[in-house]
Amino acid sequence: MPSRPSKTLDTFANPNPERDYLIHIEVPEFTCLCPLTGQPDFATLTIDYVPDRRNVELKSLKLYMWSYRDEGAFHEAVTNRILDDLVRALAPRFVRLTARWNVRGGLFTTVVAEHRKRGWKPVPHVDLGRFAPASPVGGPAT
């Protein structure tokens, strides 16, 4: 049976809840529709999160992202709505959603939205050189 878009985000138990670790997910083919013109908008979404008790199941995330393909939404609204849905499903220690929208009318738009669990603080950053990107686990991104 072919897959279908879905607004359901399935999760599974974090296999290492005692440890802060970063999960980095890139969604290079996100699409939705401009609510004013009905034309497609394209973005690359980057999800960086530190799980608490739940992790997102990737196939459900793919189907969730697909569910926006025929919806009209402003860049700011859809970015924040996706973040809210991730927070509801995962209750993560930290999550950052970066939406880099393709050029439209000569303008690029990037929308960044974050959530931190109350009381959670990242561990101090350890710099391992240019091959180790800064993250919320090890301090602020540069």
* pLDDT values of the chain reduced to their tens digit, one per residue, 142 residues: 678 999 999 999 999 999 999 999 999 999 999 999 999 999 999 999 999 999 999 999 999 999 999 999 999 999 999 999 999 999 999 999 999 999 888 899 999 999 999 999 988 877 777 665 556 665 544 4
**Residue 101 belongs to a domain:** yes
Domain count for the chain: 1
Q: What is the pLDDT of residue 132?
A: 55
What CATH number is given to the structural domain containing 27?
3.30.1130.10
Domain that includes residue 108, residue range: 11-116
**Residue 123 belongs to a domain:** no
Active-site residues: which are they?
A: 34, 41
Strand order across the 23-33 sheet? 23-33, 40-50, 94-104, 107-116
Q: Which SS3 state, helix, strand or coil, does residue 115 take?
A: strand
**Residue 103 belongs to a domain:** yes
Q: Of 89, 136, 93, whose CA–CA distance to 112 is shortest?
A: 136
**Residue 3 belongs to a domain:** no
Q: Whole-model pTM?
A: 0.87
**Residue 136 belongs to a domain:** no
